[in-house]
C-alpha cells in the first residue's frame, strides 16, 4: 500500500510576520481599542505577533509559525463574533420602574416630569411621569408596595385590581420601557401616553 505524503508547508519568517501584521491592522482591532476588553485584546494580539515573529525565525520549516498563524486566525474569528454579539452572554437587566428602595411621592415625580417636559427633555419626563403614575397607584392602594416591579408588571398587577387601567397603562408601560431601557427617543407623543395613564391612575376605582 502506497501512502502519499502531503508536501511540507513552508512559511518563512517574513511571510508569517506580514500575515500577522495584516491581521493585526484590521479595523476590528482598531475600533475595539477604546474599551477595556479591546485594549486587552490588543495586548494579546501584540504578544502573539511578537511570539510568531520569534518562532518563525527559529523554526527551519516554518511549521511552528504556521500553527501560530492558524491560532491567530482563530482568535480573529472569535473577536469578530464577540464584537457582533454572537458570543456575548445575554444577561437581562431587571427593568424596574424605580431605581431606589424609597421612591418619592406621586406629586413630586409629577412636578419633576412637568419641568423636564417644559425643557424639552421628554426622555426624562417619560421616566418621571410613569414613576408618578406608579406612585399614585401605590398611594391609592391599587398597587401594593413591592420593590423591583417592572412596567409590565404594573400593568398586570394594576389591571387585576382595576381592569379599566389596562388600556391606558399598556402604551405608557411600552413608552417607559422603550425609552428608559431601550434607548428609544423620548417624544411628545410617548410622553402624552404616559400622562394619560397618570391621569387615569388618579381617577381609577378598584373593581368590587
User: What pLDDT is recorded for position 97?
Assistant: 93
Same domain? 130 vs 196: yes
pTM of the shown model: 0.56
State the DSSP string of 135-157: HHHHHTTSS---TT-BHHHHHHH
Report the distance separating Cα 183 and Cα 149, nearest Å: 20
Query: Residue 124, Cβ neighbours under 10 Å: how many?
Result: 19
Specify whether the backbone of 183 is left (phi greater than 0), alpha (psi in -120 to 50) or beta. Answer: left
Q: Could you say which of 84, 114, 132 is where a domain stops?
A: 84
Q: How many independent structural domains does the chain possess? A: 2
Of how many residues is the chain composed?
A: 208
Instruction: Answer for the pair 16, 62: CB distance below 8 angstroms, yes or no.
Output: yes
Report the distance separating Cα 13 and Cα 9, nearest Å: 13
Report the distance separating Cα 116 and Cα 122, nearest Å: 7
- Residue 140: inside a domain: yes
Same domain? 54 vs 143: no
User: What pLDDT is recorded for position 195?
Assistant: 98
Same domain? 164 vs 111: yes
Instruction: Answer for the pair 50, 13: CB distance below 8 angstroms, yes or no.
Output: no
Domain residues for 159? 106-203
State the DSSP string of 32-85: GGGSHHHHHHHHHHHHHHHHHHHHHHH-SSSHHHHHHHHHHHHHHHHHHHHHHT
Work out the burial of residue 208: count CB atoms within 10 Å of its CB; fewer than 13 is exposed, 13-18 middle, 19 or more buried. exposed
Each of the 208 residues of the chain gets a pLDDT tens digit; together they read 544 454 444 445 455 555 555 555 554 444 444 555 566 666 666 766 666 666 555 555 556 666 666 676 677 767 666 665 545 444 445 689 998 878 899 999 999 999 999 999 999 999 999 999 999 999 999 999 888 999 999 999 999 999 999 999 999 999 999 999 998 999 999 999 999 999 999 998 887 6
Report the distance separating Cα 113 and Cα 176, nearest Å: 13
User: What pLDDT is recorded for position 205?
Assistant: 84
- Residue 92: inside a domain: no
Amino acid at each position: 500500500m502506497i501512502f502519499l505524503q502531503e508536501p511540507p508547508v513552508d512559511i518563512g519568517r517574513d511571510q508569517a510576520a506580514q500575515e500577522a501584521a495584516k491581521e493585526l491592522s484590521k479595523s476590528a482591532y482598531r475600533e475595539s481599542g477604546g474599551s477595556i476588553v479591546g485594549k486587552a485584546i490588543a495586548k494579546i494580539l501584540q504578544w502573539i505577533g511578537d511570539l510568531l515573529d520569534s518562532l518563525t525565525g527559529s523554526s527551519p520549516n516554518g511549521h511552528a509559525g504556521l500553527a501560530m498563524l492558524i491560532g491567530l486566525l482563530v482568535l480573529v474569528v472569535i473577536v469578530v463574533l464577540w464584537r457582533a454579539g454572537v458570543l456575548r452572554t445575554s444577561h437581562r437587566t431587571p427593568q424596574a420602574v424605580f431605581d431606589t428602595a424609597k421612591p418619592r411621592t406621586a406629586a413630586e415625580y409629577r412636578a419633576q416630569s412637568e419641568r423636564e417636559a417644559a425643557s424639552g427633555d421628554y426622555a426624562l419626563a417619560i421616566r418621571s411621569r410613569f414613576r408618578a403614575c406608579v406612585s399614585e397607584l401605590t398611594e391609592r392602594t391599587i398597587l401594593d408596595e413591592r420593590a423591583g416591579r417592572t412596567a409590565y408588571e404594573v400593568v398586570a398587577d394594576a389591571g387585576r385590581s382595576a381592569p379599566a387601567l389596562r388600556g391606558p397603562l399598556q402604551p405608557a408601560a411600552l413608552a417607559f420601557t422603550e425609552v428608559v431601557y431601550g434607548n428609544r427617543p423620548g417624544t411628545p407623543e410617548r410622553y402624552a401616553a404616559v400622562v394619560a395613564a397618570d391621569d387615569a391612575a388618579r381617577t381609577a376605582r378598584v373593581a368590587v
